[in-house]
Amino acid sequence: MLEMTLDKSKVQEFLRLLGQNRRLFAPVKDRMGTKFSEVADPSLVCLDGLNTNLSLKEVVFPQWETLYTFEEDQANEVKLAAQETLLFGARPCDARALELLDRVFTWEGIDDPYYLRRREKTCVVALACNTPGEACFCSSVGGSPVGEVGADALAFDLGKQLYLRALTERGEALLKEASTLTEKATEEDKQAVQQAAAEAEKQLQPVPIPEDLAALKESFDAEIWEDLGQKCLGCGTCAYVCPTCHCFDITDETKKGVGRRVRSWDSCAFSLFTLHGSGHNPRTTQAARYRQRVLHKFLYCPENFGEAFCVGCGRCITNCPAGLDLRAVLERLGSLAKVT
């Protein structure tokens, strides 16, 4: 596979070149650290931050979108065209999350056209992490600060230059577009990359992940849920900042016979999430809702998709207004799972 280096003074030119034929998304400075946003001016791109405060799932799975419009009894399709898109500087955890989202939106052979139209046009250049954030635990959930899953190319910040490695054909084609700006990676560069990778992995604290699914199932009535759930405020923060949370709601908006059907993010922490039309709510307590969030990720998703739906990005931890820490929860669950 193609391996090359790009002098950091040329990053802007590189992005300008690649941005000519596609939409460009990259981290830019924000009052909450950095945010992933569409950039017209590459000079705004900031590659020095941690993972962005909000995840990049918005690009392929927007917070809300119109599924179709209607008028009296006539439904009108919305055009499913999406533009070529480059996600540059996504952290490896976020890139891996896209691979997990793919499994949901193609589950059991049913393709979600709304998701796929964007996803299929998306090329991801991930940026390996030299220094993890305060709540990162990717390596404990099967990822890595230098992970390649979900990315078309992987970049390393080597100080004066970026090292770039193509991982897929799409990534290779992309890098070739800018070959006038890059150089072939030397043996020395490759060694530097290996060293950076080893350094990054070392900095992460391991979190014990409960993998005994039968024991997790047993935990359903455990006290821990009441204990944690009573702290939970029932907001949508953890789900909305999470790169793998994918629940949505579908609502009709009508005005005088004309309207649209909208899909929008939803969160299992909301009390209305499971409210039935009859008024019955099967999840009566916040404890039950908090349990759902954790077990969905670490029990039901492994059952349905073969993997836990957490990439260890730490966003739910840094942003939880109640100070709940998923790592601590997993640790407690793990010890519980061992005993039972």
Partner 1 sequence: MNQVEETLRQEVAKLLEDGTIDVFVGHEAASLPLKTSPCFVRSPKEVDRLVWNRICTSNLATYLPQLFKRPVGLKGEWTPPKVGVVAKGCDSRSIVGLIKEKQIPRDRLFIIGVGCEGMIDRHSVGRALGVVGLADAKVDGNSVQVIGTDGREKRIDIADVLAASCRECQHREAVLSNLTVGEAPSSAPEVSHYANVAEFESKSPQERWEHWVGELSRCIRCYACRQACPNCYCEECFAEETAPKWLGVTTDLSDVFVFHLGRAFHQAGRCVDCGACVAACPQGIDLRLLNQKINKDVEELFEAQVSLSLEEAEALSSFRMEDDQSFMTEP
Q: Given the rule CB under 6 A, which residues bind ligand SF4?
A: 51, 91-93, 129, 132-133, 136, 138, 145, 232-235, 237-238, 241-244, 269, 297, 310-316, 320-322, 324, 326
End-to-end CA gap in the chain? 47
Distance of CA 15 to the CA centre of its chain: 22
Among 41, 272, 338, 340, binds partner 1 (CB under 8 A): 272
Residue 264 bridge partners (DSSP): 64, 249
Q: Which is closer to partner 1, CB of 88 or CB of 240?
A: 240
Q: Residue 136 CB, nearest distance to ligand SF4 (Å)?
A: 3
Q: Which of residues 209-228 bind partner 1 (CB under 8 A)?
A: 227
Q: Out of partner 1, ligand SF4, none, which partner does residue 318 contact, by CB within 5 to 8 A per kind?
A: partner 1
Q: How far apart are CA 321 and CA 317, in angstroms?
A: 9
* Residue 72 backbone zone (phi > 0: left; psi -120 to 50: alpha; other: beta): left
Q: How many CB atoms lie within 10 A of CB 301?
A: 19
CB 155 within 8 A of CB 125: yes
- What string of DSSP letters covers 187-200? HHHHHHHHHHHHHH
Q: Which is closer to partner 1, CB of 75 or CB of 233?
A: 233
CB 85 within 8 A of CB 118: yes
Q: Out of ligand SF4, partner 1, none, which partner does residue 304 contact, by CB within 5 to 8 A per kind?
A: none
Q: Is 49 in the site for partner 1 (CB under 8 A)?
A: yes
Q: Which is closer to partner 1, CB of 53 or CB of 122?
A: 53
Tokens of 177: 């577009």
Q: Is 328 in the site for partner 1 (CB under 8 A)?
A: yes
Q: Which is closer to partner 1, CB of 178 or CB of 273?
A: 273
CB 125 within 8 A of CB 171: yes
Strand ranges across the sheet with 23-30: 33-38, 23-30, 85-90, 122-127, 153-157, 161-166, 3-7, 183-184
Q: Out of partner 1, ligand SF4, none, which partner does residue 174 contact, by CB within 5 to 8 A per kind?
A: none
DSSP 8-state class, residue 271: T
Among 231, 303, 335, 340, binds partner 1 (CB under 8 A): 231
Q: Out of partner 1, ligand SF4, none, which partner does residue 313 contact, by CB within 5 to 8 A per kind?
A: ligand SF4
Q: How far apart are CA 218 and CA 299, in angstroms?
A: 11
Under the rule (CB under 8 A), what is the footprint of partner 1?
29, 31-34, 46, 48-50, 53-54, 63-64, 131-135, 227, 230-231, 233-237, 240-241, 249, 251, 253, 262, 264, 267, 270, 272, 281, 284-286, 317-319, 321-325, 327-328
